[in-house]
């Protein structure tokens, strides 16, 4: 098949990693794959160099930008329509809210036979203003009418899509976001060697967080929770992996709470280095305010590190309470601190949870499992289209 994946930007992020791995896997299976993206990067870093290593085509559309700009978005629609008309793909598969809207409209205008969109997280969500939510809900409903299938990275996304009346449940298919599981092998890394670079004492209990230093990633809740937990357990230390526009502000908050010397900030790291850093942690806290499927929770569990997370969106499908980690009600700072202390004080429980989590994630989240499901979906949709055309032909002949 000729397959086009479309995403707004190739920053280092979950949706972007999923998209690149989808292109990698489909290209390895012999499909003619083109990745279409906008030009923007940021403090999160870029996956462009990584994507270019694998041999599939990449098209950068300068007009495709993340910010909502009506005139610019119209230009992006025109540019994407021209490109898709030229490429003549059998399937257009869009990702992220902006590319999901503009890309599907362009695919329809270019008469692409099969249109698929992945819901990595609802484009209208609890972090937005009521006006933004209403606008995106309306746009999603419109585009869903001519979308052949909505791929959801978690069952929670399918349920939310149906509940918001974006599309019926029958139009949603859950395909878990894939991971390069071979990168996340605990035996590859020396825990003590990783920790030496952080200058923590040998008896430190290291709590990791891997997320952009950005609003809605949960640092506003994590910082006071860390302060509470650290008062009760002086051995606690924290490692934050990532960068972003709020770094200086968060560092000031840490200093004001007397936590600055307990928190090591790594800055931006390449995706293939995340496993090494996870090896030095004892467990991971993920406090995001909005998430489709928390990939870092999967990656942590593959490294046999249990996870504490807010019980939102797709998190409960990865973080199974008492089995692979602990769940806390959204924005319950006291509960988050209690969960941190609970795992900090029980190394045997951490070990058991980590091992159970690795076995579960190896089965569910290997990217080749995702590619199998995508291929099956594309073939199913292609067969449906052929059957539909055959039925139309029979009816036409009968008339």
Kindly report, residue by residue over 338-356, the tens digit of the pLDDT.
999 999 999 999 999 999 9
Please report the pLDDT score of residue 389 as a whole number. 67
3-state helix, strand, coil in the chain (%, to 5): 50, 15, 35
Please report the pLDDT score of residue 395 as a whole number. 54
- pLDDT higher than 60, residue 399: no
- Picking from 71, 70, 65, the residue whose alpha carbon sits closest to that of residue 37 is 65
Q: Is 341 helix (H, G, I), strand (E, B) or coil?
A: helix
- pLDDT higher than 90, residue 358: yes
The length of the chain in residues reads: 399
What is the β-pairing status of strands 172-174 and 149-152?
A: parallel
Please name the helix (run of DSSP H) or strand (run of DSSP E) that holds residue 206, with its range, or none: strand 205-210
* Percent residues over pLDDT 90 in the chain: 83
pLDDT tens per residue, range 281-330: 999 999 999 889 999 999 999 999 999 999 999 999 999 999 999 999 99
pLDDT classification of 383: cutoffs 50, 70, 90: very high
Please report the pLDDT score of residue 43 as a whole number. 74
- Residue that wins the pLDDT comparison between 207 and 395: 207
Q: Return d(Cα 172, Cα 167) in angstroms, integer.
A: 8
- pLDDT higher than 90, residue 127: no
Residue 202 DSSP symbol:
T
Q: From edge to edge, which strands make up the β-sheet containing 236-241?
A: 263-267, 236-241, 205-210, 283-286, 307-310, 325-328
Question: Hey, what domains does the chain have and what are their CATH numbers?
Answer: 2-178+366-398 (3.40.50.2000), 181-364 (3.40.50.2000)
Average pLDDT over residues 154-177: 95
pLDDT classification of 378: cutoffs 50, 70, 90: very high
Please name the helix (run of DSSP H) or strand (run of DSSP E) that holds residue 238, with its range, or none: strand 236-241
Q: Return d(Cα 263, Cα 265) in angstroms, integer.
A: 6
Q: Return d(Cα 27, Cα 286) in angstroms, integer.
A: 32
pTM of the model: 0.91
Burial of 101 (0-12, 13-18, 19+ CB in 10 A): buried
């Amino acid at each position: 098949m000729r397959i086009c994946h479309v995403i707004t930007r190739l920053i280092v992020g979950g949706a972007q990693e999923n998209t690149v791995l989808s292109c990698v896997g489909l290209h390895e299976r012999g499909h003619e794959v083109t990745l279409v993206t906008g030009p923007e990067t940021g403090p999160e870093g870029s996956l462009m160099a990584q994507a270019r290593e694998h041999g599939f085509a990449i098209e950068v559309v300068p007009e495709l930008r993340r910010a909502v700009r009506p005139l610019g978005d119209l230009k992006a629609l025109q540019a994407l329509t021209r490109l898709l008309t030229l490429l003549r793909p059998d399937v257009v598969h869009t990702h992220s809210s902006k590319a999901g809207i503009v890309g599907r409209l362009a695919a329809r205008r270019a008469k692409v036979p099969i249109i698929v969109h992945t819901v990595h997280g609802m484009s209208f969500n609890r972090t937005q203003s009521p006006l933004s939510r209403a606008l995106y809900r309306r746009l999603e409903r419109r585009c869903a009418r001519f979308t052949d299938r909505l791929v959801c990275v978690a069952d929670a996304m399918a349920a939310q899509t149906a509940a918001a009346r974006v599309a019926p449940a029958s139009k949603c298919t859950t395909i878990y976001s894939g991971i390069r599981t071979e990168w996340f092998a605990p035996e590859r890394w020396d825990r003590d060697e990783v920790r030496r670079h952080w200058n923590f004492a040998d008896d430190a209990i290291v709590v990791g967080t891997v997320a952009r230093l950005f609003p809605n990633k949960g640092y506003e809740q994590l910082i006071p929770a860390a302060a509470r937990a650290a008062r009760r357990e002086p051995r606690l230390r924290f490692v934050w992996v990532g960068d972003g526009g709020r770094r200086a502000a968060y560092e000031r908050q840490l200093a004001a709470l007397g936590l600055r010397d307990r928190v090591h900030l790594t800055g931006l790291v390449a995706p293939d280095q995340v496993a090494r850093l996870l090896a030095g942690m004892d467990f991971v806290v993920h406090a995001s305010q909005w998430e489709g499927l928390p990939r870092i929770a999967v990656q942590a569990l593959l490294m046999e590190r249990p996870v504490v997370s807010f019980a939102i969106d797709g998190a409960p499908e990865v973080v199974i309470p008492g089995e692979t980690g602990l769940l806390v009600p959204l924005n319950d700072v006291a509960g988050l601190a209690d969960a941190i202390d609970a795992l900090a004080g029980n190394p045997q429980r951490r070990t058991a949870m980590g091992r159970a989590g690795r076995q579960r994630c190896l089965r569910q989240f290997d990217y080749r499992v995702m590619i199998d499901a995508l291929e099956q979906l594309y073939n199913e949709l292609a067969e449906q289209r052929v059957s539909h055309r055959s039925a139309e032909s029979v009816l036409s002949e009968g008339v």
